Amino acid sequence: MNVLVINAGSSSLKYQLMNPETGDVSAKGLCERIGIDGRLTHKVGGNKVVKDIPMPSHSEAIQAVLSILVDPVDGVIKSTDEIDAVGHRVVHGGEKFADSCLIDDSVIKAIEDCIPLGPLHNPANLLGIRACQSIMPNTPQVAVFDTAFHMTMPAKAYRYAIPTEYYKNDSIRRYGFHGTSHKYVALRTAELIGKKEFKMVNCHLGNGSSMAAIKNGKVQDTSMGLSPLAGVPMGTRSGDIDACVVQFICNKYNMSVDECLTMLNKKSGVLGLSGVSSDFRDLEDGAQKGNADCQLALDKFCYETAKYVGAYAAALNGIDVLTFTAGVGENGSYVRQEVCNYLGFMGVKIDAEKNKVRGEEMKISTDDSKVEVWVVPTNEELMIAKDTVALVNAAK
């Protein structure tokens, strides 16, 4: 079976053609500069092809992807009929979607209704869906939501302590993001440790970072909120912040709320603290060379991450497993070690040798650690493809 996984942004579109049973990726790539001029980067195994192709809209981008997938030289399939289904990443599903679903007109309408909650992402996701529908009208399309896996949170976790009318009238609440990644890691961890019933905290630490408290495969709490700005500090996002900071900065610097939010989303986090970079490798280099601001950025990131683990361990009344995933979680030995140093009080102990692992599945805790600590590389595309095939098969 071949599933085409699509992650459409406003001017870009990532794709992977994969077999959801084996996880094998036959081709993947990226369309960039959609609406400007258009460039396709296509990879098959170790080979990469870059082509400038006019892409006035997402429709031409999808068409370019389908053309190269069936190209006699660079392609991997003979005909687009070999694509059994398309799985779309959709960022915000609001309260309407607690799971992935087959796309029909009512689903499109519901994704449109969620635009006020996900104004940056949902319109682009819809462009990708509509382009695929018009070019491949007979191929089933599935929407996989970043928010869906978090819908099991109890009200005490997802409600903000503000007047109820904002929840009732405007759906203002914690939704959480990276749900597809948290779901993949939770399912994979269950396989790795051979248990279904266990309590875990997953640290998805990348350029964007989020934490999830998961009990028996169901999310109990997560660190991102109405938007991805909340939670631990990130590459360029501030993470949790006192709302009065916004008021103060807007008043003092005559900034609009939108301008202030752009600063909090794009210029803050470890970039803002270090003044050097949002990339943790640069911060580690800087700190090693004695840059105190880089060291502070790393310290703040590890401290806040560890605080979330502690808080979630309390929320779950103890945890059995701690997992690290995404760019920093999978590769950042320093960050993992520093986070775990704070958690000694919970009996967390990691093996310094095993903690050198990069990008591989590995248990890094010692045998006498009270909590198993694992590195579990995430695979959101595989999760999307698996959900897609499950829904398509169920509908047969």
Nearest residue (CB) to ligand AMP, 89 versus 130:
89
Closest residue by Cα to residue 35 from 11, 51, 15: 11
The tally of CA atoms less than 13 A away on the side-chain side of residue 3 is 30
Catalytic residue among 37, 52, 105, 146: 146
End-to-end CA distance of the chain: 14
Q: How far is the CB of 82 from ligand AMP (least distance, A)?
A: 30
The conformation of residue 347, written as its DSSP 8-state character, comes to T
Q: How far is the CB of 325 from ligand AMP (least distance, A)?
A: 8
CA dist 292 and 237 (Å) reads 20
Q: How far is the CB of 56 from ligand AMP (least distance, A)?
A: 29
Q: Which stretch binds ligand AMP (CB under 6 A): 66-74, 125-133, 328-336, 384-392?
A: 328-336
Q: Among 332, 363, 383, 392, which residue sits at the site for ligand AMP (rule: CB under 6 A)? A: 332
The conformation of residue 139, written as its DSSP 8-state character, comes to S
258-317: which residues touch ligand AMP (CB under 6 A)? 279-281
Q: Are strands 199-205 and 321-325 parallel, antiparallel or unpaired?
A: parallel
CA dist 183 and 210 (Å) reads 13
Report the interhelical angle of 122-135 vs 58-69 (nearest 10°). Answer: 50
Residue sitting closest to ligand AMP (CB): 327
Q: How far is the CB of 106 from ligand AMP (least distance, A)?
A: 33
Q: Are strands 101-102 and 85-90 parallel, antiparallel or unpaired?
A: unpaired
| CA distances, 290 to each of 53, 294, 295 (Å) | 46, 8, 8
Q: Which stretch binds ligand AMP (CB under 6 A): 47-55, 67-75, 306-314, 325-333?
A: 325-333
Q: How far is the CB of 329 from ligand AMP (least distance, A)?
A: 8
25-84: which residues touch ligand AMP (CB under 6 A)? none
Nearest residue (CB) to ligand AMP, 114 versus 287:
287
| CA distances, 317 to each of 101, 198, 313 (Å) | 33, 12, 6
Q: Which stretch binds ligand AMP (CB under 6 A): 57-65, 98-106, 324-332, 338-346?
A: 324-332
2-21: which residues touch ligand AMP (CB under 6 A)? none
189-228: which residues touch ligand AMP (CB under 6 A)? 206-207
Nearest residue (CB) to ligand AMP, 4 versus 357:
357
Closest residue by Cα to residue 287 from 211, 249, 338: 338
Nearest residue (CB) to ligand AMP, 62 versus 270:
270
Told to check if 356 binds ligand AMP by CB under 6 A, we report no
For residue 344, what are the contacts with CB-CB under 8 A and spacing of at least 6? none
Nearest residue (CB) to ligand AMP, 16 versus 220:
16
Which strands, in side-by-side order, build the sheet including 39-44?
47-52, 39-44, 25-32, 13-18, 3-8, 85-90, 141-145, 101-102
Closest residue by Cα to residue 233 from 291, 202, 193, 274: 274
Whether residue 84 lies in the annotated active site:
no
The residue count for binding ligand AMP (CB under 6 A) is: 12
Q: Among 331, 365, 369, 388, which residue sits at the site for ligand AMP (rule: CB under 6 A)? A: 331
Q: Among 145, 327, 373, 389, which residue sits at the site for ligand AMP (rule: CB under 6 A)? A: 327
The residues carrying an active-site annotation are 146
Under the rule (CB under 6 A), what is the footprint of ligand AMP?
206-207, 235, 279-281, 326-328, 331-332, 358
